[in-house]
Structure 1
Amino acid sequence: MKITVPPRGPEERRRDVLARLERESDIWVASADADGLPCLVPLWFVWDGRAVWLSTRPTNPTGRNLADGRRTRLAFADTRDVVLIDGEATAFTAEVVPAVAVEALRTKYGWDPREDRAPYSFFRVRPLAVQAWHEQHELSGRHLMRDGTWLA
């Protein structure tokens, strides 16, 4: 494949990342346990403008890892339009999760995890670093956020 388009600037990349956070249905969630055993799963998510909200069972490896380790890397599935988000997760039980987060899940997917028979935990992932690039020619400008602050 030959690259024929110029690289995007940082402002365009940020707009593209924010648009994907609004429109995508699934996001890959990477975590690790205390021994470093990795876990990678796709989950439904919602973006509230400042954080990504996820829900999974607290007994699943991802639920345990996010509750215990609090760090995660999120990614979209498209390898030609890479978005990586490194973030810090805060766990919420079904009893204390903000209603707005649950309503956003219900609106987007028609699903309220609190209504399932099995218990679910909720996780707010605050982005600390964001990278985005299309192909090799955009690698040099891929860092869009560091330490929770947008660079563009």
Structure 2
Amino acid sequence: MSEGVEWAAHCCLLLDWLGEDGPVPTARIAAGYDLPRPYLNKQLQALVRAGIATSTPGARGGFRLARPLSEITMMDVVAAIEGTEPAFQCTEIRRRGVGSEAPESLFRGSCAVNTAMQKAELAWRKALAEQTLADVGAAATRGNPDLPGHVRAWYART
């Protein structure tokens, strides 16, 4: 999984914490996390395409959340950045090499490796779909309730 997922999830939390300030430009978001602006902008545009964020063009433009954190799951963020294709792709190598001479009857059932990977991926996707960004934000502030205020103060100075 790319680092873009981490960046996008953090940006969503940030956009929530800075929500009243209007759209947040990519340059400000990038400065706050010390990230390369062009690459971060690609992640933010992916969030826009997925309906997680909105983009306002122009000098006073930037990004905002399209909906509350409670309506955005971690799976929404992963799908926005990584896409919806399965992480594992079975290429049926069991039919090559020694398997190329095996009778077709040996391959009637599903590939056991593919079955195991699909089961694991389903569990992973389900767990991410059950966790909203509001849950993640609550966990982030549980040990540090001043975090959103600290972040807003930092952005107010820049």
Give the TM-score taking structure 1 as reference length. Answer: 0.25
Give the TM-score taking structure 2 as reference length. Answer: 0.25
Which structure's residues are more often strand, by fraction?
A: 1
Which structure's residues are more often helix, by fraction?
A: 2
The structure with the largest alpha-carbon Rg is 2
